[in-house]
Every structure is written in structure tokens, then in C-alpha cells.
Chain A
Amino acid sequence: MSTVVNHNVAVAPENVGEAPRPPWVLAFTVTVIAIAFVALVKWYQHTFSWSVGLDSFSDDFQIYWMRIFYAQIILLPVLGTIGAVWLWLTRDRDIMNLPARDELGRFYAMFSILVVAAVVLISALGLLTEADAAWHQVVIRDTDFTPTHIFLFYLGVPAGLAGLAMAWIWVHTRLPYFANRVSMPLSLAIIGFMCAGPVVAFNEWAHTFFYAEELFGAPVHWFFVLAGFFLVFLIGFVIQCLQRMYELSRVYSLEEVEKEMGLSR
């Protein structure tokens, strides 16, 4: 499609303030912090996996690994629930009257968050998954809570679920385009990710009872693929956002602009 530009527009009035801009600096800072956090996780994994992570029966394993596991598995759902409830209770009751400029700004903010989430996602899916492969193919598995699982499953899944739940509520209460209805692609992406919980449980059960080999492409792992595959629905969600941003960022006519801005010639 070709670019649509309405040329029936004069020079902009000067006293309406700046158009909303994406929070580039903030997004960049948060991305750097997120990468630093992933690096911290990897540093911890590299440092303590070989020294105290080989024997789940040792006291050191209980201190260095199981404490992290318990902290994650308790803190992340609690924080996620608090965040989700807070986002719901502080929702905008008059969301349909949100000025268009604020709405565009909110879309920019949301895209910045998505970029950070995407960076974390590719780190978790790429780095932590392959760390899991590398670890389990060279050592004897003796627990469900191995040093790589503690970060991949018990940090990645609860953190992802908490983040996605909060994102769902934020999107449907802060953006007029999404209010009073449900975005199917976003919901399906979240439902797919929620399947990761039962899939982790099934995986551990399989490894405990009947699956002794560490073949990574084994059929017991294919359910993870299905859960991960639902991420493609995020494309549909992004298309929804872009449709509205297109709507918001079109200049229709100068008269309409001036009327809306309360200006007169």
C-alpha cells in the first residue's frame, strides 16, 4: 500500500504543545537494565552450577539453588497478583474520552515495553533454553530443580505470566481502542504461554518416570513448542495497535484540527 498523506493542511499552530514522542531514552535504559539482569542470571549460573549445583542432596545446593527457587516461586506470583489487582483498581473509568494525543503517547509507551519484553524473551528462550540443553547433556540429572531449570522454568514462566497478565489488564483498561472488548490475538498469546505451566509439570513427570535420555528434540519436549508457538499471535496484536495508531495519526482536515484544539484563525 502506498503512503496516505492529506495535503489539505496548513502550518501547525504553535501553542498546542509537542506531539507525543516515544520514550526512547527510557526504553533504551530499561533494555540495558534488562540485559544486565539476564547477564547477572547467567553469571550466577556459570559461577555456582559447577561448584555447588551438581548434587541436589548437598547442603550447598539447598542454600545456593533451592533458596533462589523458593524466592522466585513465592515472590513472582505475589508481585504479579499485586500488580494486576493494582492495575485493575486504578483503571480509568472514563477511558473513552481520552484525548487522542495521550492515546498515541500510550501506544508509544506500550511499544517501548514490548521491545524490552522481546529482548528479555529472546534472551530467555535462546540463552536459557540452550543453557538447559548444554547442562543436561553433560551431567547426570538428579533432581527436577536443576540449576538451569530454576532459571528457565521457575524464573521465566512465573515472570512471563505475571508480566503478560499485567499487560493484558493494562491494554484493556488504558487504551480506548481495546476497552469494553477483548483482543483475541493478545489473549491467545497469553493462553499459549499459560500452557507452559502444565507443560513444565508434564516434562518433569516424564523425566522422572519414563524418559531417561537427554535427547533435546524428543517428543516429550514438543508440547513446549506448541506453547511457544502461540507467540505468533502477538503479530495480530501488533497489527491491531498499528491500525489504531494509523487512525490516530492521520490528519483529516485543518478545520477539524482547529476545532478540536479550540483554536480559531
Chain B
Amino acid sequence: MAIQIEAGNKADVDRTPRGNAVISVKEQMQAWRNADLFFFPLISVLIGGAAVFLCALTVGDWSYWMDWRDRRWWPLVTPLLLLALPAVATYAFWRYFKLPVAATGLALGFWLSQIVSRYVNFHVFTAFPMNWVMPEVWIGAAVVLDAVLLITRSFALTGLVGGMLFGLLFSAMNWPVVAPMHMPVLLGDTVMTLADYMGFQYIRTAMPEYVRIIEAGTLRTFGTHVAPVSAFVSGFFAILVYYVFVWIGSKGSRPSWLGKLV
């Protein structure tokens, strides 16, 4: 671990350490290694937890129920919210440690927390079939985002290229989970997708069908291309989201002080 010290902080002059905490290079390296061992999992879990909370309360419904995963809203809004906290953490990891791993770390923690939560809460607690409540996977999109940062070494270019790819790849990377749910099924003489059918079958007392926010619009104009079009729009917005949240990250990770409380 190596960290850049903010020089010239007047209040720090009186705060020189009383003595030495380490007395050899070996001890020094050990201390730095300890700090490394704490830092990476700590930030991943902390900010990953905040990300789980943020996404549950904004785009949770698209994530919980397969019949919410339409071609219009889900590819559009979910990546935008998923990108927010990785962008914040990316700033801290890259600015202070030059580590392009924040998005991947968060995506892993997020996915682990989600899969445990879906199994415990939606499968065991409320008895839904697991394939009906599968969480989205966005580890691949996060790896791409980090890789772009590693290659370009620039937040501006990462937002432009990585943000676009993040929005664009999200629904494509989730296609294996969603595709079987788009098979047509007949109920009476009504054609439904398997997802619609299961939404009718597996009773949700307080979640009636009309609450779904899906495919509002005529869709006929775009035919089967509506999902890629939504993904592109999501990519454009993702660029903006990335810039805004990297800026928030620069504020959130600033080690600032207040000299007097009152």
C-alpha cells in the first residue's frame, strides 16, 4: 500500500507521531500489508452493501421478478443504477491506490449478497421458484469497465467508452438467464411469454399485474430491435452517470476536516 499524503495541512504539524510504530523495514512492510488486507474487502463490502440497498429501492422490482424484465425499461434503468456506486469506489481506488479493481470487487460482493438474499428471502421465505427470482449478473460488465480504466488511465475516456459498454453489454450478458423466460406459452387462447405465465401462476397478493412498469409504448416500430435500442440509450445515459458519480466519489473520498465543532 502506498498513499499520497496531503502536504501542508497546518493542523497536522502538531500531530507528529510520538515515537515510531515500526522499527524495521520488515515491520513496515508488514504494517502496509495489514492495511491492504483490511482496505480492499472493507470498501468492497461496505460500498457493495450500500449498492445492494440503492438498487433494491430503485430498480429492485425489475430484479426480483422475471415478468418485469422487459425489453424497454429493464435494460435502460438497471445499468444506470448499478453503475453509480462502482463509479464512486473507482475514484477512490484509482486516485489513491492506482488499482483498477473497484467495479469488479463491488460486482462480486453485490452478486454474492444478491444470490444469498434471493435464495433465503424469495425462495425459502416466500417460496418462489429460484429461476423466477434470479438476480442479474453484471460482473462481466464491471470487468470491462475496469479494463477500460486500466488501458486508458483516464476517467474521461473510461466514462465515454466503459460507461457506454456497461450500458450496452448489460442486457446482452443477462440474456442466458432471461431468454428461456421469453418462450411463448398459451393460456386459454392468449399468447404469453413464460414470464407472464409464471407471473399469473405464482400468486403475489400485493403485487398485482397492473403494477408492472414494462414496455409502455407501441414497440411495433422497432420490432425485435427494441432491446438493443434501449441498451444504447442506457449506454449514453451511463456515460453521464459515470461522470457524475466519479465527481461524487471525489467529494466522498476527500479526507477533509472541520477545525471547530461549534
Contact = CB atoms under 8 A, between A and B. Distances in A.
Check A-B contact in the complex, CB < 8 A: yes
Interface of A: 1-7, 9, 11-13, 16, 19-22, 42, 45-46, 49, 96-101, 103-104, 108, 111-112, 114-115, 118-119, 121-122, 124-127, 129-131, 133-141, 176-177, 181-185, 187, 213-217, 221-222, 224-225, 228-229, 231-240, 242-243, 245-252, 256-257, 260-261
B19 A99 contact: yes
A140 B52 CA distance: 25
Nearest to A101: B21
B220 interface: no
B185 to A, nearest CB: 23
A5 B28 CA distance: 8
A235 B92 contact: yes
Interface string B26-59: 1111111011011101110111111011101111
A100 B46 contact: no
Contacts of A261: 19-20, 23
A249 B31 contact: yes
Contacts, number: 296
B126 interface: yes
B93 to A, nearest CB: 9
Interface stretch (B160-168, B186-194, B225-233, B253-261): B253-261
Interface string B131-169: 000000000000000000000000000000000000000
A136 B206 contact: yes
B11 A225 contact: no
Contacts of B13: none
Interface residues of B, number: 89
B139 to A, nearest CB: 16
B23 A138 contact: no
A222 B57 contact: yes
B28 A1 contact: no
A118 B42 contact: yes
A49 B53 CA distance: 22
A236 B252 CA distance: 6
